[in-house]
A and B are shown apart, each in its own frame.
Chain A
Amino acid sequence: MTITAPRRRPYRAPAPLGGRARAPHRRRPGLKASVFLFPAIVILGAFVVWPMISALRLSFTDASGFGAVHWVGLENYVRVLSDPKIRESVVNTVIYTATFTPTAVLAALVLALLVNNPRMPFASFFRTALFVPFMVSLAVGAFAWSYLIDPQVGLLNYWLGAVGIHLGNVLEDPTLALPAVAMVAVWKSFGFYFVIFLAGLQDIPRSLYEAATVDGANWWNRFRFITVPMLSNTFAFVLVFAVIAALQAFDQIYVMTGGGPYGHTQTIVMEIYESGFRRLELGFASALSYVLLIATLLLSLIQFAFFSRRERDLS
């Protein structure tokens, strides 16, 4: 007769929150995921990856979209870097970005702070109303603004004229045209950034403000030491989006000024359009697009790096 020791159930630690991790799947783990990803991969491949590869190839040729294509090496890139017209469009784009980005971001932040205030009346109404311009097509909005500020028939000019302010022919004024088209983009875009900021503000725990208030912090200190740091990620997201949008400025410029007066609103994307569709220089337009893509990528990386470091410093 043998005596066997009672079987002991081995100790197993309680499952963590969110459930226990599953054992590795014995079957091919990626099959199901691949099937579900397939449509997205096809769409991205056909409409993003392939055009990018195709444009890269075109950028080393003299392609016009039809007919014979010849390899020209780096000629298009050399021209991008040396053409004075391209330099002018880069300057215009930088000015546009420097006008649009801070204005749109600050307007969105200020309005988000106002609407986020619990004492703000009609907050729901303002939240919706401020977002509405973002729902309007930029081309449609640009047409509407063109008529509003028209010196002959514009309502805005008429109303401002009644109080002694004469805007003049803004879109034909070399100093005012670029800020004017930038402001139309601000009007169109700030609603989106506003909603992002509002979501970020609502994610900040009220307890932080309450504790700070108990400690005697005034409004500015609460904003400076709670709101700003806690919105750091949101800032990064909004800034990157705003800068990318600014670098791609086209719609309202095409509609409102066509790049004029005499090139003062000619941005890089306008130049890409004219090179490709008006001069039929698709190879050169592709090279310019790639230079813009690389510049945008670098700027975005710099912004992310800056905000990541800032976040580390704060933590």
Chain B
Amino acid sequence: MTRKTSLAFAAAGLAALAVAGCSPTATPTATATDPSGSPNAETVELTFWHGYTEADGDVLNKIVADFNASQDAIQITTEVNPWAVIDDTFLPALAAGTGPSIVAMPAERLPVYANRGAFVALDDWYASPDSNAASLNPGAVQMVTVGGKKYGVPTGFVPLAMYYNKALFAAAGITAPPTTWDEWVSVAKKLTIDDNGDGTPEQYGVVLPDHATVANGLWPSLFYGNGGDIVADGTTAVIDSPANADTLRFWQDAIASDHISPTGVDGIGADGVFSSGKAAMTIGGPWMVFIAADNKIDYGIAPIPAGPVTQAASAIGVSMAITDQGDPVKVAAAKKFFSFFFNETNTVAWSLGSGWPPLRTDIAADAVAENPTVVALTAQASLGRPLLPGVVNSVDVLAAVDELTQRAMAGEDIAKLLQEAQSSIQAALDAK
């Protein structure tokens, strides 16, 4: 073989490799087969991305498997993409045209995708009597509503709750969790211990993160409690209000003067402070049950104490939606799965498995009685309020709230901070 021939073969080989490298690869999926063993030509294949990685993931996979087994026309393959990175994988997949048919994501992220046309509107499915959607929690449905249209379905909706350390409560002679803000601060003072008197307590009464709070919901919850809010009707910033100013002053005093909580902590840090036994109370989601159990903390669950005006809690929401890939057959198939997901049996199974309250309000309390966490959280379900429903640019709105609360708790002028936050949030809402 001459050198020239060798080079020609090498070039051809490299070109083949390059072309192969650029070709889309087939993704293995679970496919229904007919009795002869060949793929059923009429089977609709769907992919479903979600971030449920614990026991909830097992339950979800079982529901999907049950759906696949219940009929031959539709087969769904699930793929786990952790919540922290689902944005980073979903967007490139959409851009490449290889996105999933169904995707679950934190509810506050749904509007930005829906607003740009990534998801199919589901109003016709909601209107259908077979959808099992008639009794879905209205707050949860509000979180998937953008511009008056419903672009997804909820897979989780639970108000933030107070988790407290029963052993520390008992040691301080406290027998019941607080029910009002005044009680909350009073109890927290009793639980705050600074033995060496250096001004830095060894044990805090409560840990209140001042930014990046769990599901971004702590400060909205406190604003609601005093009659305040952040955004009205998804279009108008209302954060600069006397009610919110009073709320921030109340907690600034309690934290800065009475040192009932460490400062500069975020939501993840707060989980760590509570799980290490350095704080007697925290505000969190259902996963705190597992964190407390892992750290051998005897915990109790109570609603966030009532504010001067009302008792309310920002809800943590997770939604799933159908991606708009121009295939009505796949859309119809995904809607069938949603109807299956919300039948009574699966709603109960999903609630018990995930530890979150049932998404349907018509599920009787005794149906979930075997899981005490679900029972406790279900009792608080009516307190839950959706966070920034329909707000497309939630990233910038929440960043403005974070800056406001972090600087306020660091002792800066609250009136000035509220003015700045109002302006930033309105700008975010007005942005295209």
Q: Mark A84-114, 1 if CB is under 8 A from B, else 0.
A: 0000000000000000000000000000000
Does B92 touch A at the CB level, under 8 Å?
Answer: yes
Q: Which A residues touch B407, using CB under 8 A? A: 262
Assess whether A152 is in contact with B269, with CB atoms less than 8 Å apart. yes
Please give the distance in Å from A137's CB to the nearest CB on chain B: 16
Q: Is the CB of B112 within 8 A of A66?
A: no
Q: Is the CB of B402 within 8 A of A277?
A: no
Report B1-21 CB contacts with A as 1/0, cut-off 8 Å.
000000100110011001000
- Name the A residues within 8 Å of B399 (CB-CB): 262-263
Contact among A38, A153, A260, A277 for B11, CB-based, below 8 A: A38
Judge if A65 is at the interface, Cβ distance under 8 Å. Answer: yes
| Residue of B22, B87, B117, B406 touching A262 (CB-CB under 8 A) | B406
Q: Which residue of B lies closest to A258 (CB)?
A: B212
Asked if A172 CB lies within 8 Å of chain B CBs, one says yes
CA distance A65 to B94 in the complex (A): 7
With A67-B118, A152-B272, A261-B406 known to touch, is A169 a contact of B113 (CB < 8 Å)? Answer: no
Count, A-B residue pairs, CB within 8 A? 81
What's the least CB distance linking B47 to chain A, in Å? 16
Find chain B residues with CB under 8 A from A35 CB: 7, 10-11
For window 35-87 of A, CB contacts with B under 8 Å fall at 35, 38-39, 42, 46, 62, 64-68
Q: Which of B7, B264, B272 contacts A153 (CB 8 A)?
A: B272
> Which residues of A have CB within 8 Å of B212?
258, 260
Q: Which residues of chain A are within 8 angstroms of B7 by Cβ–Cβ distance?
A: 32, 35
Q: Mark B109-120, 1 if CB is under 8 A from A, else 0.
A: 000110011100
Given contacts A152-B269, A260-B211, A280-B91, contact A67 B116 (CB under 8 A): yes
Asked if B403 is an interface residue, CB under 8 A from chain A, the answer is yes
**Number of contacting residues on A, CB 8 A?**
30
**Residues of chain A lying within 8 A (CB to CB) of residue B379:** none
Tell me which residues across on chain A come within 8 A of B14, comparing CB atoms. Answer: 38-39, 42
Residue of B nearest to A63 (CB): B95
Cβ of A278 under 8 Å from chain B: yes
CA distance A279 to B15 in the complex (A): 38
Which of A35, A173, A278 gathers the greatest number of chain B CB atoms within 10 Å? A278
Considering the complex, which residues of chain B in the window 90-140 have a beta carbon less than 8 Å from any beta carbon of chain A? 91-92, 94-95, 99, 112-113, 116-118
A251 at the binding interface (Cβ < 8 Å): no
What residue of chain A has the Cβ atom nearest to residue B97's Cβ? Answer: A66
Interface extent on B, as a size class? Answer: 35 or more
- CB of B278 within 8 A of CB of A39, answer no
Per-residue contact bits, chain A 161-193, to B (CB 8 Å; 1 contact, 0 not): 000000001001100000000000000000000
Which residues of chain B in 49-92 are interfacial with respect to chain A, using CB atoms and an 8 Å cutoff? 87-88, 91-92
Considering the complex, which residues of chain B in the window 263-280 have a beta carbon less than 8 Å from any beta carbon of chain A?
263-266, 269, 272-273, 276, 278
Least CB distance, A249 to chain B, in whole angstroms: 18
Chain A residues whose CB sits within 8 angstroms of the CB of B393 once the complex forms = 279
Which A residues touch B369, using CB under 8 A?
none
Asked if B395 CB lies within 8 Å of chain A CBs, one says yes
Is there contact, CB below 8 Å, between B211 and A280? no
**Are A152 and B117 in contact, CB atoms less than 8 angstroms apart?**
no
- When distances are taken between beta carbons in the complex, the residues of chain B under 8 Å from A67 are 116-118, 324
Cα(A56)–Cα(B18), bound, Å: 25
A66 and B94 form a contact (CB under 8 A): yes
CB atoms of A261 and B211 under 8 A apart: yes
Residue contact A277 to B273, C-beta cutoff 8 Å: no
Q: Which residues of the other chain, B, contact A282 by a CB distance below 8 angstroms?
A: 95
Q: Chain B contacts of A261 at CB under 8 A?
A: 211, 264, 406
For A260, give the chain B residue with the smallest CB separation.
B211
* A169 pairs with B264, CB closer than 8 A: yes
B265: chain A residues at CB < 8 Å are 172
Contact (Cβ within 8 A) A279 B395: yes
Which one of B118, B273, B402 lies within 8 Å of A66 (CB-CB)? B118
Do A42 and B18 have beta carbons less than 8 Å apart?
Answer: yes
CB distance from A207 to the nearest CB of B (A): 47
Judge whether B18 and A152 touch: CB under 8 Å: no
Determine the chain B residues whose CB is within 8 A of the CB of A274 once the complex forms: 395
B276 touches A153 (CB 8 A): yes
Q: How far is the CA of A282 from the CA of B18 in the complex (A)?
A: 28
A42 to B22, CA, bound (A): 11
Contact residues in A for B403 (Cβ distance below 8 Å): 262-263
Q: Which residues of B contact A68 (CB under 8 A)?
A: 117
Looking across the interface, which residue of chain B has its beta carbon closest to that of A262?
B403
Q: Are B95 and A277 within 8 A (Cβ)?
A: no
Q: In the complex, which of the residues B265, B269, B324 has the most CB atoms of chain A within 10 Å of its own CB atom?
A: B269
| B75 → A minimal CB distance (Å) | 25
**CB within 8 Å of B: which residues of A?**
32, 35, 38-39, 42, 46, 62, 64-68, 151-153, 169, 172-173, 258, 260-263, 274, 276-280, 282
Interchain residue pairs with CB less than 8 A apart (30): A32-B7, A35-B7, A35-B10, A38-B11, A38-B15, A39-B14, A46-B18, A46-B22, A66-B91, A66-B94, A66-B117, A66-B118, A68-B117, A152-B262, A152-B272, A152-B273, A169-B264, A172-B266, A260-B212, A260-B402, A260-B406, A261-B406, A262-B211, A262-B407, A276-B91, A277-B87, A277-B88, A278-B87, A280-B113, A280-B116
List the 10 closest A-B pairs by CB distance, nearest first: A172-B264, A262-B403, A65-B95, A67-B117, A169-B264, A66-B94, A64-B116, A278-B395, A42-B18, A35-B11
Besides A38-B14, A64-B116, A263-B403, 13 more A-B contacts (Cβ < 8 Å) are: A35-B11, A39-B14, A42-B14, A65-B94, A67-B118, A68-B117, A152-B278, A258-B212, A260-B402, A262-B403, A277-B87, A278-B395, A282-B95
